[in-house]
Structure 1
Amino acid sequence: MVTCTSLPLKPLFLTMTNKENIESLRKELREHNHNYYVLDNPIISDYDFDMKLKELQKLEEQYPEFQDLTSPTLRVGGMVTKNFETVVHNYRMYSLDNSYSKEDLEDWEKRIQRILGDAEVEFTCELKYDGASISLTYEKGELVQALTRGDGFQGDAVTTNVKTIKSVPLRLKGDYPDKFDIRGEIVLPFEGFAKMNADRIENGEEPYMNPRNTAAGSLKLQDSAVVAQRPLDCLLYGIVGQNTGITSQWQMLEKAREWGFKVPTAAKLCKSTSEVMAFVNYWDNNRHDLPYETDGVVVKVNSIQHQDELGFTSKSPRWAMAYKFKTEQVTTLLNEITYQVGRTGAITPVANLAPVLLAGTTVKRASLHNADQIAKFDIREGDTVFVEKGGEIIPKIIGVDFSKRPQDSKPTLYIDHCPECSTQLERTEGDAKHYCPNFYGCPPQITGRIQHYISRKAMDIEGIGGETVELLFKEGLLKNYADLYTLTKEQILPLDRMAEKSAANLVKGIAESVKIPFERVLFALGIRFVGETVAKKLARAYKNIDALMSASEEELTAVNEIGERIANSVTEFFQNEANRDIISRLKGYGIQFSLSEKQMENQTDTFKGLTIVVSGVFKSLSRDELKKMIENNGGKVGSSISSKTAYLVAGDNMGPSKRTKAESLGIPIISEGEFMKMVDSPMQD
């Protein structure tokens, strides 16, 4: 804190009870914390604050019966977390689609208008701070949980560490909802980062590489007292929950500030992409004056009703877009091009570079994507290449400095045989990548499929990692993922770095995986193009593996968001005799190949083959609940009106253009109540 004129400490009123003394001090210190860390407006000196904090600590030690988990004394840390529990998010944390030009934004606006019709759309622009994503859960105004983003579906509980961050309110003020989640970024200001590195250098330690990674790493430190010493900050930007009373993103920012959150003031309400670009251009030129790292602007549709109507793709909200600032670019030498084989057999060329510092990290390798990319830029070994980080994350080569090309340079000849098993590569028309067709004999494909099967999003088998899989394969103990269930402790113990306890944990982790639900098992099988979201849709549509295995391509494409490419991949996978044998073995080991009874509840074929559009605001159900009911009853949720739409479920404030289009196409428009009657009284064939 800054130093202010010292004020004499006011003695506590002697007539106060011990409980009242403690509560009074807590309230006062919370207000001082908020003034300093959120409003940047301290009204007492550091010394006075510290004295009051020590006084409170002493009272709390004397009277432990008045313990409060939101006390300002918890900011100093001290609790040690050995293992960070993985917890499912109340609401999924999606990633954002990126744009890099005004044309990208205009195309996005057109897509929005196609769905919303002639509705007037406003946009909220906010700076995209580069930190560690966090989700905070508040119940009755108190912080009860803090989760990292993780994979978007689940994250690590880092509540104890986050409570040490002074700008995170432990208790809210005002008219906050009973329960909600708020999302934001844990950041490390440049000034604090520089001081941390100065201290490390003085102590003879290696400096940290960049603020973002240091902030993320701080959240996973075991000792919260160490976290408390780091000048972390928390910037909030998004509230999710039921019945929040919030109708727009702009109102959300204002409300969050009122409740005590630190919400950046660098935001603007815009009525067009031209206004959005003015905001983008201003901050692209002035971002270096900010106290934190930032890599772009997040543009959101302002109306929450419109956001609900636009919904989500499998990965991102349709109502938000990240405009990324131009990335840092460097040049370095391309020493060698090597080739990697993925679990699907896809070949990825890799540029091995002379190490170079880029956007805070040392880059040694960059993906070259495919043969077409190499030919497009005429990339050769020995070239000096231009490298940047795509979206500030993945290094990529964007060109060659031909003025520095060696005279004896030779064009790159893309390999025609697999670098691992020497099988001749294949490339189908319209596909950018080459593939090794030796699906069951190419080592990286075999081990890659097993590693995918055991991964956290799939079967989540503890006690086994990629290196162990490679070792078990090399020793002949694994040839496919079904072999995992035949492993014994006696087979594993003789292996390198395998002790009694680790071998027992491995076998136990494999045994526990039989409890994993069907949709994750389906994802774990590693069918090409079947990711987590597609696996869930297929599991919900077919209920069990046998029904899915017998489905035709035509039947599969009738499922919501399943196209011809996915349908073809699924049928090919199940037509393969080796895959069918593996599935038969997995069935014998007790793997879940059908939806559970609980998952089957309220699932019917009432809307099978029908596409239903939901629009407007509803009284008894949320839009998401209506969409889930459509899918649970075999239907497909449409985002816009077309001749394929079977019904339009209309709520209040629905855009007039949707009604007009539905009427012109003769599409039945039904109310929420009529929809519920259809669910309760299924239509007869």
Structure 2
Amino acid sequence: MAEVSAEGNPYVEDPQTDFESVEAVSEERAREQSELLREAIRHHDYRYYVENDPVIADRTYDALFTRLQELEDAFGIQTEDSPTRRVGGEPVDELETVEHVTPMLSIDSSGEADDVRDFDDRIRKTVSDPEYVCDPKFDGLSLEVVYEDGEYARATTRGNGREGDDVTENVRTISSIPHHLRGDYPDSLAVRGEVYMPRDAFQAFNRERVEDGKDPFANPRNAAAGSLRQLDSSVTAERPLDCFFYDVLDASEEFPTHWSEYEALPTYGLKVVDRTELVDDIEDAIAYRDDLMAEREELNYEIDGVVIKLNDRSACAELGTTARSYRWAYAYKFPARAEVTTITDVIIQVGRTGRLTPVALLEPVDVGGVTVSRASLHNPEEIAEKNVNVGDEVRVQRAGDVIPYVSEVVEKGSEGHYEFPERCPVCDSPVERDGPIAFCTGGLACDAQLRRAVAYYASDDGLDIEGLGEERVEQLIDGGLVESLPDLYELDADDLLELDGWGEKSAENLLAEMERSKHPQLANFVSAIGIPRVGTETARALAREFGSMNHLLDASRDQLESVPDIGPVVADRIREFFDSERNREVVRELLTHVEPEAEETDGGDELAGLTFVFTGSLSQSRSDISDLVEAHGANATGSVSGNTDYLVVGDNPGQTKRDDAEKRDVTVLEEDEFWDVLAENGIEREER
């Protein structure tokens, strides 16, 4: 099946972006123009990501994309496969587990050429004159992407090889992964790819995080993995992710060789790396690895070796697999990038969440072409295990990491290991341990955590204070206007007008927003103050249970743990937060400005005493359905427990919740049965 032709589309070769106003467009015209824009944007994505040959400027592409968003928003005509879906969708409570179309196995590896030759000897017992396909071994996150009839269907992380996390909505936001296949594609296709963050984009992204007061990611792989596993796909959409495809896992048509796969994938619109080679023998494969290792620092993506695959797929099938790996593929790894230097000092960085990270200051040393003067020591437990201290001669390793780390002590220059501080170096609050991690207990009163606390307080998960984004939070703090959360309510127009970029209107708008925020729902206020492990759902549960901030402040650990979906760990975190005198002082001062209101509902108590858990894709968003049952007296929680009455399952439900329901003898309802239960209690289905 072929794609719709872009020929004759006015937005393809030389698009004009002087659009008429949306108000002047009829719905019929809006639908026609939107379809042309969707088709054109897909075409330009292909030219940019796959062919690496764009035909329009970035600003023109942005204008086309913005116009499509405006039309879809104004007329409610967004389609399931629209490119605008790349901005992200509804957050989820957890990533569901999905079984792979076919197992995604690992690959045996070694950094020794003789081991690679031994692999070739094993292949030659089955194939007399083997050819090999050689790929870079990407240091990213492996992914299965499935297309049905050319349409993007789902995406799953590798997980344990048999099943992985369903990241369909997150992957939908990655611009280089098409929603539609092109050309003469198979009816069904499952492909394996690697999601990564380009090195230049990673550096820019980390720079922004540091400027925003956030902890930088250690390396592009961690950044890509963390981005792809977000519960809110709009967060993923903001991350500069990319993807290379390199294997057909399953298809409705046969590919005789791996090289034929490599040639076919770009014709479908799937991006492949331009460094793949077909070689005649294993010595050429070894030479390929050595050449690529010499060029490693020039590449815009991280690799840690090469993958050598037998080209003939029928021979691959004959060779088969072991329990964990393919017998027809081998990874020839690069040596780790490491050098020896001396630790001159250790400093403790306080992150936005209060986590304390030890960093070793080093005598500058060249590691893989990069001058390194600082390296991560990770956490106090690792410092003790490696017996690291100031004055020690240590091996510093990059191994693909942009931020290096100390891998071992080569020669001791001191007694014992570095003693981790017992008090926060910023606010002098006690330091506590959570497993191997140390964190500051200062919470809202710790200056290092202030920027995050203020930004979160104003965010969508907090009080949704419009006009108080991260940049303006930085301005207020750097200008000395905000030294703690309650200071937000002491702002005045004269102070704001002294800051760069502020005018009378923007100052007036922010002060009006601050005034509006003085009467939030209790649940929103509980979420806004940033209690560790308390998100919006838990905050709603706490607000329902305790009804006022004063009751919550004084709730015992046992009372907290009795709240549905709150276990002992979360109860401990809440109690620790409120037991901090500094935190209580900040909250009490906030309450002199803010009057949280217990949530009122216009429903009833028809479902009082019942607890629902939802999983899978439902006809409405989970938040809407949760709101509905809670408005009628029920609890909606994120996980199955002994208190759960019903597990409601939609499409592609999580197996973990089903298993938990079976163990606890919880009634499982299909969505239609769920609506029947509500109807039996006199609750009408709300269409959305």
TM-score (norm 1): 0.50
TM-score by length of 2: 0.49
